[in-house]
A = this chain, B = another copy of it.
Amino acid sequence: MKLTPVMEKFILHWGEMGTRWGVNRSVAQIHALLLMSPQPLNAEEICQILSLARSNVSNSMKELSGWGLVKTVHVLGDRRDHFTTLKDAQETFNIIVEERKKREIDPTLAMLKELSAELDTDKNADKEVKERINNMLSFLEMMTSWYDKMKKLPNSTLVTLVKAGTTIVKLIGKG
């Protein structure tokens, strides 16, 4: 496959953005390439298009699979693995949010709960520190319980909600 200038720009931008999100450039570039590619691509093709080492692609595919962003598919009469990614922005977003929650928010919640418990049994614990830990803990709990409810809704309902925007505020009689 030959990259069009548009594809190339997209891939390069995605690669740079990836680095800001703790995803390495190769991984993000491969994801971007698969987003643009009309067909699934095999590892060899990815190497060639992005000028990456075969081993790098192999590891990157594992990383992307770990995020649930890439699927391995097969082409009739071809032994090699081929890769595709979800093409819908909203679904992609949902997956990334879910993964980040699992990797970053959940451990933080666990840590805060632990600390909160420790502070409860400690008589000379600083009151302010206690307050702040609990403030953080309840904020995160509020957010995650909201998130858990929202993720049960179908995407179409979410879109309706988001588009309704602040008219909801009027319905609920606040603001």
CB within 8 Å of B: which residues of A? Answer: 4-7, 9-10, 13, 17, 19-22, 35-36, 38, 87-90, 93, 103-104, 107-108, 111, 114-115, 118-119, 122, 125-126, 128-129, 132-133, 135-136, 139-140, 142-143, 145-146, 149-150, 152-154, 157, 159-166, 168-169, 171-172, 174-175
Contact = CB atoms under 8 A, between A and B. Distances in A.
Contact of A22 (B4, B21, B132): B21
Nearest to A111: B13
Contacts of A143: 162
Given A22-B20, A118-B6, A159 B132 contact: no
B174 A172 contact: no
Given A6-B118, A10-B115, A168-B168, A126 B175 contact: no
Contacts of A5: 118
14 contacts: A5-B118, A6-B122, A7-B129, A22-B22, A38-B126, A38-B129, A89-B135, A93-B139, A142-B162, A143-B162, A146-B165, A152-B166, A153-B175, A168-B168
Contacts of A161: 168-169, 172, 174
A76 to B, nearest CB: 22
Task: Tell me the number of copies of this protein.
Answer: 2
B89 A139 contact: yes
User: In this complex, which of A35, A89, A168 has the most chain B Cβ atoms within 10 angstroms of its Cβ?
Assistant: A89
Nearest to A12: B111
Q: Which of A93, A118, A174 has the most CB of B within 10 A?
A: A174
User: 10 closest A-B pairs (Cβ-Cβ)?
Assistant: A89-B139, A157-B175, A149-B165, A89-B136, A146-B162, A149-B166, A157-B174, A20-B22, A13-B111, A6-B115
